[in-house]
Structure 1
Amino acid sequence: MNHKILALAALPALALSACTIIPPAVEQAPPPQSDGFAQIGQTIRVGALTIRPDAINEDSRCPMNARCVWAGRVIVAATVMQNGESTFRNFTLGEPASDGLMLDTVEPGRTTLEGAIPPASYRFHFSITPRQ
């Protein structure tokens, strides 16, 4: 008799557990790399900042072993995120911004005058130079 009462008492709990709502899986962006290189669309951590290179606005660098009047430059559009806020900025290779944030390396180097480097091949490194 006790077994029947116990079984009857457990039935509502079993019925309710079958109705559990499972939330859909949320697709999360991969965590930002720390102190490494990022490609277009990838994020990288630089100190307390998260930076995502978004586009190459200019790559006019002189190819290696070529004679050029001007060395050229690379300008990268990037999103800088901190404390839940985002700002869109342009970074020129080797030129520190007023806050010390700098695009310090762009790979690959320009090796030929012919053909553009595919955007997916670029890798960017940023650093922060302390203010003096």
Structure 2
Amino acid sequence: MDSPMCQDSPIEKEPRPIGRMAAKAKRGSNSTKNTSKYLEELSKMQAMRIEMDMKQQEHDRAMEVEYAKEREYVRQEKIEKRDRETMAMDTTHMSPETKQFWKLERRDVMRRRLFRDDRPSNTDWLNDQNH
């Protein structure tokens, strides 16, 4: 308890200075708050980075799929162009061996066109009971 003289004194009493251990504890709690805020921000940034990476991977996959479709389209176009050229080849002035070669090439083209796996079968007429 305070002495009676201290209570009656007109001079204001200054607060007692904080002790070493109390100062350290105060600093420690403040640093813990800063650390937790820093860790929160770090985890938010890491989550944002992961989300951005996932979006980039999805975009890359979509681009790869589109690129593969484009390559397949170009490949099919080249095959069709070559097939048209083969079918249009004029063999009237060729040697018999060359004519035979182009005849076999035409047969291969026709076989590929008639028996494609990605279209309905062109051989259904073979199984038709009306014939």
Using the size of structure 2 for normalisation, the TM-score is 0.29
Structure ranking higher in helix proportion: 2
Structure number, greater radius of gyration:
2
Name which structure has the greater RCO, CA cutoff 8 Å, separation 6+.
Answer: 1
